[in-house]
């Protein structure tokens, strides 16, 4: 079996990625820094605000704050990521912002409006260092909000809020340090709102969280388009890894492969830190150190997700580093796959959210008893200690109600078995960690496995790993 050296990993991508060329059309908007024309539309975000408004009681007012900027070290911040619910309702990807949604029209700047977006003013000096801001004009033209003001103007506004209003507030729970040069930063905006002295009710805030969870749980067609794109990119990354993987590669090199595919296909970020756990690390559920050298005979748990325009995939495959499962690895792998198939079969509209977990757990427990790894079903959590499903969307563990499954909801189905060194079983099973995870769209009477584009059975995985990589021109 001919294997591809890691330095030539780009060879893997020429065929798969050439089909993607031109899939993302570009626009050049020098005024506002918008370069993708497949973002969620202003109409989408407006519709989400209207859906939220319809849930409000009389005199209801929603107040949401943007995510704060977070310091990484000294004068370097982490790359900014917007609060998912704030992005869902506005499309704004900038900090230092507030959204207000009113049940009934309010007079703001002499206009009767049902919504107000507060955001940073444009500043050529700051934009020289940090890039474009939308500003008020961009918020009106690009985001399509009804009314927008700068933070400085907001601090001077009379909003007419009083004790009779039903306030629903998503607060920032972090200790914020205000910028002494910018009284309208997030700390200033939050302090100004607190200074209004309005009565806040924790029950109202929980109600707002519940409303947002219910809305975000069910995906609209535009959202599913972005999720399919993120999942397709992630599947391509898993296939690229399968074709490149070989002993003596490091975990960080496998991470580099998948994240190269993400960026090459237009994903802005990974939806979560890539989990590339080999050998004993395959039994660490959220292992992200990714520094170990992989050995012949190891398994690699590759749990990854590209984030595309805010929406993330989450697809896990477990790979034999040398391209072939050992007999013990194959027994555990096939058991996890049977459990996953049992779980997926339970995913349909109206089913309880935890039906997939119940079905998968029953299969794992029976199979592990048959293999002699446990004596009773109650011991199953020794080796399968996490849930089987979570919602997927703007967050990798997305918002949802955990009630009966609804059409156009996306959940994961991801059973696993993790037999760490020192477990109370025959050492031949030690360091075998297997997780298989797919992203599943709930339909009436059934489901669609959105990540079926990447091999899942042991035979298909081994066949993909045996494929020759394409040659680079001139080599």
The enclosing domain of 349 has a CATH number of 3.90.230.10
Is 397 a residue of the active site?
yes
Residues 6+ apart with CB under 8 A from 378: none
216, 242, 267 — which closes off a domain?
A: 216
216, 235, 265 — which closes off a domain?
A: 216
Same-domain check for residues 284 and 175:
no
Same-domain check for residues 401 and 306:
yes
Q: One digit per residue, pLDDT tens: the chain, 475 residues?
A: 334 444 444 444 444 443 343 344 434 455 677 888 899 999 999 999 999 999 999 999 999 999 999 999 998 999 999 999 999 999 999 999 999 999 999 999 999 999 999 999 999 999 899 989 999 999 999 999 999 999 999 999 988 888 889 999 987 777 788 888 889 999 999 989 888 888 888 889 999 999 999 999 999 999 999 999 999 999 999 999 999 999 999 999 999 999 999 999 999 999 999 999 999 999 999 999 999 999 999 999 999 999 999 999 999 999 999 999 999 999 999 999 999 999 999 999 999 999 999 999 999 999 999 999 999 999 999 999 999 999 999 999 999 999 999 999 999 999 999 999 999 999 999 999 999 999 999 999 999 999 999 999 999 999 999 997 634 233 3
Catalytic residue among 437, 438, 439, 462: 437
Is 386 a residue of the active site?
yes
331, 434 contact by CB (below 8 A)? no
Torsion of CA 197, 202, 208, 209, to 10 degrees: 130
Catalytic residue among 255, 307, 414, 431: 414
What is the pLDDT at residue 151?
A: 96
Domain of 105, in residue numbers: 26-216
DSSP, residue by residue, 57-73: PTTEEEEEEPPPP-EEE
Same-domain check for residues 204 and 236:
no
CATH number at residue 33: 3.40.350.10
Is 357 a residue of the active site?
no
* Cα–Cα distance measured from residue 360 to residue 337, given in angstroms and rounded to the nearest whole number: 9
* Cα–Cα distance measured from residue 402 to residue 375, given in angstroms and rounded to the nearest whole number: 32
In a domain, 2, yes or no: no
91, 45 contact by CB (below 8 A)? yes
What is the pLDDT at residue 158?
A: 85
Angle at CA of residue 395, ends 394 and 400, nearest 5°:
90
Catalytic residue among 26, 70, 171, 286: 286
Catalytic residue among 252, 386, 406, 448: 386
Same-domain check for residues 404 and 330:
yes
91, 39 contact by CB (below 8 A)? yes
What is the pLDDT at residue 18?
A: 38
Same-domain check for residues 181 and 279:
no
In a domain, 56, yes or no: yes
Is 205 a residue of the active site?
no
Exposed / middle / buried, residue 55 (Cβ in 10 Å: 0-12, 13-18, 19+)? middle
Is 435 a residue of the active site?
yes
- Among the residues of 56-98, which ranges form H helices? 84-90
How long a stretch of residues is the chain?
475
In a domain, 7, yes or no: no
- Percent helix, strand and coil across the chain, each to the nearest 5: 35, 20, 45
164, 183, 216 — which closes off a domain?
A: 216
What is the pLDDT at residue 290?
A: 96
Per-residue DSSP letter, 269: E
Catalytic residue among 26, 123, 397, 468: 397
269, 81 contact by CB (below 8 A)? yes
Category of 290 on φ-ψ map: left (φ > 0), alpha (ψ -120 to 50) or beta: left
* Cα–Cα distance measured from residue 413 to residue 36, given in angstroms and rounded to the nearest whole number: 31
* Cα–Cα distance measured from residue 233 to residue 237, given in angstroms and rounded to the nearest whole number: 6
363, 339 contact by CB (below 8 A)? yes
Is 390 a residue of the active site?
yes
Catalytic residue among 28, 58, 75, 158: 75
Nearest of 304, 309, 307, 280 to residue 292 by alpha carbon: 280
Catalytic residue among 165, 236, 239, 314: 314
* Cα–Cα distance measured from residue 3 to residue 429, given in angstroms and rounded to the nearest whole number: 27
Which 3 state secondary structure label does DSSP give 309? Answer: coil
What is the pLDDT at residue 31?
A: 63
DSSP, residue by residue, 139-159: IIIII--S-EEEHHHHTT---
What is the pLDDT at residue 4?
A: 41
Domains held by the chain: number: 2
Continuous segment of H or E residues that includes residue 99: strand 98-108
Same-domain check for residues 100 and 156:
yes
Same-domain check for residues 191 and 290:
no
Distance of CA 95 to the CA centre of its chain: 19
Predicted TM-score of the model (pTM): 0.92
Q: Are strands 76-77 and 71-73 parallel, antiparallel or unpaired?
A: antiparallel
Is 314 a residue of the active site?
yes
Same-domain check for residues 147 and 172:
yes
Same-domain check for residues 389 and 409:
yes
What is the pLDDT at residue 29?
A: 57
Which 3 state secondary structure label does DSSP give 439? Answer: strand
Is 75 a residue of the active site?
yes
Is 286 a residue of the active site?
yes
């Amino acid at each position: 079996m001919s294997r591809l050296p890691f330095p030539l990993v780009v060879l893997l991508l020429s065929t798969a990625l050439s089909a993607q060329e031109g899939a993302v059309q570009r626009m050049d908007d020098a005024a506002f820094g918008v370069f993708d024309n497949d973002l969620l539309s202003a109409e989408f975000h407006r519709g989400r605000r209207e859906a939220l408004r319809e849930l409000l009681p009389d005199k209801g007012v929603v107040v949401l704050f943007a995510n704060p900027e977070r310091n990484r070290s000294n004068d370097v911040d982490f790359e900014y990521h917007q609060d998912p619910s704030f992005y869902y309702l506005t499309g704004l990807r900038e900090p230092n912002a507030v959204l207000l949604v009113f049940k009934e029209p309010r007079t703001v700047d002499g206009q009767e409006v049902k919504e107000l977006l507060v955001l940073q003013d444009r500043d050529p000096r700051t934009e020289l260092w940090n890039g474009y801001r939308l500003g008020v004009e961009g918020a009106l033209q690009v985001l399509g909000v009804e009314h927008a003001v700068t933070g400085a103007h907001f601090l001077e506004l009379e909003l007419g809020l009083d004790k009779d209003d039903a306030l629903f507030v998503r607060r920032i729970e972090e200790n914020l340090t205000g910028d002494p040069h910018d009284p309208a930063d997030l700390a200033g905006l939050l302090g100004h709102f607190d200074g209004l002295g309005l009565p806040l009710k924790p029950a109202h805030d929980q109600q707002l969280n519940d409303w947002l969870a219910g809305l975000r749980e069910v995906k609209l067609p535009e959202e599913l388009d972005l999720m399919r794109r993120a999942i397709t990119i992630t599947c391509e990354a898993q296939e690229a890894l399968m074709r490149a993987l070989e002993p003596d590669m490091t975990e960080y090199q496998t991470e580099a492969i998948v994240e190269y595919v993400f960026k090459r296909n237009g994903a802005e970020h990974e939806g979560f830190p890539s989990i590339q756990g080999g050998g004993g690390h395959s039994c660490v559920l959220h292992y992200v150190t990714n520094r170990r050298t992989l050995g012949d005979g190891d398994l690699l748990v590759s749990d990854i997700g590209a984030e595309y325009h805010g929406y993330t995939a989450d697809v896990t495959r477990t790979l034999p580093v040398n391209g072939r499962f050992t007999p013990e690895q194959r027994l555990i792998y096939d058991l996890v796959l049977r459990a996953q198939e049992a779980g997926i079969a339970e995913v349909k509209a109206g089913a309880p959210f935890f039906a997939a977990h119940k079905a998968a757990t029953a299969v794992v427990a029976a199979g592990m008893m048959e293999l002699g790894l446990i004596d009773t079903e109650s011991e199953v959590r020794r080796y399968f200690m996490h849930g089987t499903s979570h919602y997927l969307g703007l967050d990798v563990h997305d918002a949802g109600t955990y009630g009966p499954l609804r059409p156009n909801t996306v959940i994961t189905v991801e059973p696993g078995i993790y037999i760490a060194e020192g477990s109370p079983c025959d050492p031949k099973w030690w360091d075998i960690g297997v997780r298989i995870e797919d992203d599943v769209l709930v339909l009436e009477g059934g489901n669609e496995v959105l990540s079926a584009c990447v091999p899942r059975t042991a035979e298909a995985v081994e066949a993909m790993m045996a494929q020759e990589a394409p040659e680079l021109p001139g080599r």
